[in-house]
Amino acid sequence: MRILGISAFYHDSAAVLLEDGVIVAAVQEERFSRIKHDASFPRGAAAWCLTQAHGPLDAVVYYEKPLLKFERILATAAAVAPRGFRAFAAAMPGWLHEKLWLPGVIEDEITALGCEAVPVHFSGHHEAHAASAFFPSPHERAAILTLDGVGEWTTTAFGRGAGNRLELLREQRFPHSLGLLYSAFTYHCGFRVNSGEYKLMGLAPYGEPRFAGTILQQLIDLKPDGSFRLHLEFFGFLLGETMTNARFTALFGVPPRQPDEPITQTHCDLARSIQQVTEEVVLRLARTLHQETGEENLCLAGGVALNCVANARLLREGPFKRIWVQPAAGDAGGALGAALAFYYAKSNAPRVVDGRDDGMRGAFLGPEYSEDEIAAVLRARGLPFEKLSPADLNHRVAERLGAGDVVGVFQGRAEFGPRALGNRSILADARSPEMQRRLNLKIKFRESFRPFAPIVLAERAGEYFDLSTSSPYMLLTAPVAVSHRKPVTAGASWNERLNTIRSDLPAITHVDFSARVQTVESATNPVLHALLTAFAARTGCPVLVNTSFNVRGEPPVCHPGEAVEGFLATDMDALAIGSFFIKKKNLPPNLIRSSPARTFAPD
C-alpha cells in the first residue's frame, strides 16, 4: 500500500510517501521553493516523493478536515462581529478559491504530476499529530500529548497508543491555546509568529521570570490538571489582525517590538516569564495524562513539542519514564501522521517495534544526490576541488575544524523537520570563544544572542553533558557538565552576559549553562559519527558546533548548487560535499561573493 501524505496551505507544507507503513520519503516544500516555511501546495515535495515510489499510489491523505476548520473560522467571525470582519473578508478568497474544494484541488495537483486519480482522504489535525508521535516511536504502547496553536478546533489533545491503534481521549479547544499564548509573546517581542518561537526560547535565559505571576493572574486561568482558559480581552488573534492588543501592551508596559529595534532586558524578562509558564502548563498536562492512562512512555508532537527546554524539564521532573518527540513535530509532520493514521486504520497491519530504534531512520528522509551530480555542479561553477576517500575526507575536515575553520557539510539524504542533523550542516569547533559570534554575524547573518547546538558522540555524551538519555533529534536541552564549566561573574546587562565565557565549550554553552544536544550514533549516521571520531582523535574533544546550512531568511539547502552558493556567499572556510573538498582560500577571487547582512530577509 502506497500512500502520499500532504500538509499544505497554512505553514510548513510537506509531502511524505509511505510504502506498507515504512517511511520512504519525506520533505518540506520550502526545500524546493526556497521560501522559508512555504505554505503552498507541496508540488516539488510531492513530485520528488513520487520519484521514490515503487509503483502507483493507492491513496492521498491530507492532514486536516477543511470543512471543520471552516466551521471554526465562521463561528469565530460571528462571535466577534463586526470587529473581525476585515480579517474575515481577507481570509475568504483563499477559502473560496481552494481550501473549500480541497478534494478537487489535490486530485488536480496529483494528476498534474503524472499520477492516475486516486482517492483523497482527510485526517483530523491532532489525529495526524498524534499518529506522527506514536506510530514511528520505539514504544509498543504510550500516552500521547499533542500541543500547537490550533488545528480545526483542537489546541491540545490527550491520547493513548497501543500496537497499531491509537485513540484520542480528550481535547482542549480554540481559542484557549498554549501555542497561541506563546506566539503572542513571540509577536510582542518582535519575532515572526510560526517562525520565531525558537528565538524567544533562546532569549529566555537572559531574563528573569518577573512577569510570570502577571501572566498567571491576568492572561491565563490555569487549573491543577493543566487545563486553562485565556483571558481573551488581552489578545488580538480572534480578530485576525495582531496577536496582542493595547491591553496587553498596558499590562507589561512595552509596545510590540519592531524587528529592527533593539532587544531590551524587558524583552528578555518577557521571554523568560512565558517560557516558565509554558513549562508549568506542560508539566501539569503530563501529570494528568499519566494519571489517566497509567502509561510509562509519552510521545509528543505539535509545534509546542519543539520547545526543547520544556521537553527536557518534562523528562527530568515529569511522571513518565521515557519520552519520544516527533522530530518534525510541526505542520510538516502532520503529512506523515495523516498517512500513518490512514495506513494503520485501513490495513490493520501489525506494527513492529523493538523498544529502542524508532521508525524515522534518523530523519534522513529527503533528497540525496549522486557523486556525478555533485561533480557536475562544481565543474559548472568552476570550483577547484579534491576528491577524497571517506577516511581522508574526515581527516581533512577534522584538521580544518581543529584549526578554527568553519566547514559546510553536504552529505547523504536531507533531513526532514526543522533541525539540521549533520547532512545539511555547518560545523565548527565548540571550544573556540569567538565561534558563536562569528557564526551568527559572519555566516548565518542573524542576531548575536542566538545559541548554537552541539553534536557529540553518543558514547561520550555523559562526559560533557548531564543527559540521561539519547537525543538524536536535537529536541532536548541538557546542562553542560560541571567539570567543564568555568566560574562566572554575572554581568549587569544581558549583552554583557552574552559575551561571558562559561565553559570549555563556549560556542555551544548558553547563558544558563544549557545546550541543545544532538547525540550521534554510528548506526544512525555513520558518516557524521566517523567525522566526530576523527575530530576527537585529533583534539581529544568529541563535540562540535552544528547549525543548519543556510543563512537568515532561507531554509536549509537541499540541492548541491544551493550548498555551493551558500558557501561562496558567506565566510565559511571550506566545503565538504559528497566526497569532494573545497577550500575557500584556493578559489579565484572572482568566485567569492560578498553578501552583507542587509541583503537577507528577516526570519
pLDDT at 87: 74
Cβ-in-10-Å burial (0-12, 13-18, 19+) of 100 comes to middle
Whether residues 383 and 451 fall in one domain: yes
pLDDT at 318: 95
pLDDT at 490: 65
pLDDT at 93: 80
Whether residues 346 and 285 fall in one domain: no
Average pLDDT over residues 392-407: 98
Grid cell listed for 427: 560545523
**Distance, CA of 190 to CA of 473 (rounded, Å):** 28
**Distance, CA of 580 to CA of 582 (rounded, Å):** 7
pTM of the model: 0.95
**Distance, CA of 438 to CA of 571 (rounded, Å):** 9
Return the closest-CA partner of residue 563 out of 552, 576, 553.
Answer: 576
pLDDT at 593: 67
Whether residues 442 and 460 fall in one domain: yes
196 part of a folded domain: yes
Average pLDDT over residues 43-50: 98
Whether residues 527 and 413 fall in one domain: yes
Whether residues 383 and 400 fall in one domain: yes
**Distance, CA of 427 to CA of 358 (rounded, Å):** 26
DSSP state of 338: H
Model pLDDT for residues 112-160, shown as the tens digit of each residue: 999 988 999 999 999 999 999 999 999 999 999 999 999 999 999 999 9
pLDDT at 551: 87
225 part of a folded domain: yes
Grid cell listed for 502: 562559561
154 part of a folded domain: no
Grid cell listed for 354: 523493538
Contact 143, 162 (CB under 8 A): no
Alpha helix (H) residue ranges in 259-386: 265-293, 308-317, 331-347, 371-380
**Distance, CA of 238 to CA of 338 (rounded, Å):** 27
Residue 594 pLDDT greater than 60, yes or no: no
Q: Which of 238-247, 256-265, 421-430 has the highest mean pLDDT?
A: 421-430
Return the closest-CA partner of residue 138 out of 354, 333, 365.
Answer: 354
Whether residues 380 and 356 fall in one domain: no
Q: Identify the weakest region by mean pLDDT among 33-37, 110-114, 235-239, 448-452.
A: 448-452
Whether residues 316 and 347 fall in one domain: no
What is the residue-wise DSSP string for 414-451? PBSSS---SSEEEEEETT-TTHHHHIIIIIS---TT--
**Distance, CA of 559 to CA of 381 (rounded, Å):** 14
145 part of a folded domain: no
Cβ-based neighbours of 108, under 8 Å, separated by 6 or more? none
Q: What is the mean pLDDT of the chain?
A: 93
150 part of a folded domain: no
pLDDT at 92: 83
Cβ-based neighbours of 140, under 8 Å, separated by 6 or more? 162, 163, 353, 355
Q: What confidence category does residue 598 fall into, taking pLDDT thresholds of 50, 70 and 90?
A: very low
Number of separate domains in the chain? 3
Bridge partners of residue 298, in order along the sequence: 143, 323
In the chain, the percentage of residues whose pLDDT exceeds 90 is: 82
Model pLDDT for residues 352-376, shown as the tens digit of each residue: 898 778 999 999 999 999 999 999 9
Grid cell listed for 385: 576541488
Q: In one letter, which amino acid is 184?
A: A
Whether residues 93 and 211 fall in one domain: no
Task: Find the length of the chain.
Answer: 603
Return the closest-CA partner of residue 162 out of 29, 14, 6, 351.
Answer: 351
pLDDT at 492: 62
Whether residues 589 and 441 fall in one domain: yes
pLDDT at 488: 81
Model pLDDT for residues 461-516, shown as the tens digit of each residue: 999 999 989 999 999 999 999 999 998 876 667 777 777 889 999 999 999 999 99
Alpha-carbon distance values, 249 to 72, 188, 245, 255, 264 (Å): 28, 8, 6, 5, 15
Return the number of other C-beta atoms located less than 10 Å from residue 586's C-beta. Answer: 12
pLDDT at 599: 52
Contact 481, 463 (CB under 8 A): yes
Of 345, 362, 379, the domain-final residue: 362
Q: What is the CATH number of the domain that holds 502?
A: 3.90.870.20
Residue 601 pLDDT greater than 70, yes or no: no
Whether residues 266 and 407 fall in one domain: no
pLDDT at 597: 43
Whether residues 401 and 455 fall in one domain: yes
Alpha-carbon distance values, 291 to 155, 287, 295, 563 (Å): 21, 6, 8, 49
Residue 297 pLDDT greater than 90, yes or no: yes
Q: In one letter, which amino acid is 426?
A: I
Whether residues 217 and 116 fall in one domain: no
144 part of a folded domain: no
Contact 277, 212 (CB under 8 A): yes
**Distance, CA of 29 to CA of 33 (rounded, Å):** 6
Contact 36, 603 (CB under 8 A): yes
pLDDT at 334: 98
Average pLDDT over residues 407-414: 98
Contact 66, 55 (CB under 8 A): no
86 part of a folded domain: yes
SS3 state of residue 136: coil
Cβ-based neighbours of 441, under 8 Å, separated by 6 or more? 448, 597
Q: What is the CATH number of the domain that holds 236?
A: 3.30.420.40
DSSP state of 155: E
Query: Between 382 and 489, whose confidence is greater?
Result: 382
pLDDT at 497: 74
Domain that holds residue 467: 371-599
61 part of a folded domain: yes
Return the closest-CA partner of residue 170 out of 291, 325, 262.
Answer: 291
Q: φ and ψ at 476, to 5 degrees?
A: -135, 140
Q: Which helix (H) or strand (E) holds 390?
A: helix 390-402
CA 208 to chain centre: 26
Residue 11 pLDDT greater than 60, yes or no: yes
Q: Is the dihedral of CA 29, 32, 35, 41 positive or negative?
A: negative
Average pLDDT over residues 289-305: 98
Model pLDDT for residues 528-547, shown as the tens digit of each residue: 999 999 999 999 999 999 99
Residue 410 pLDDT greater than 50, yes or no: yes
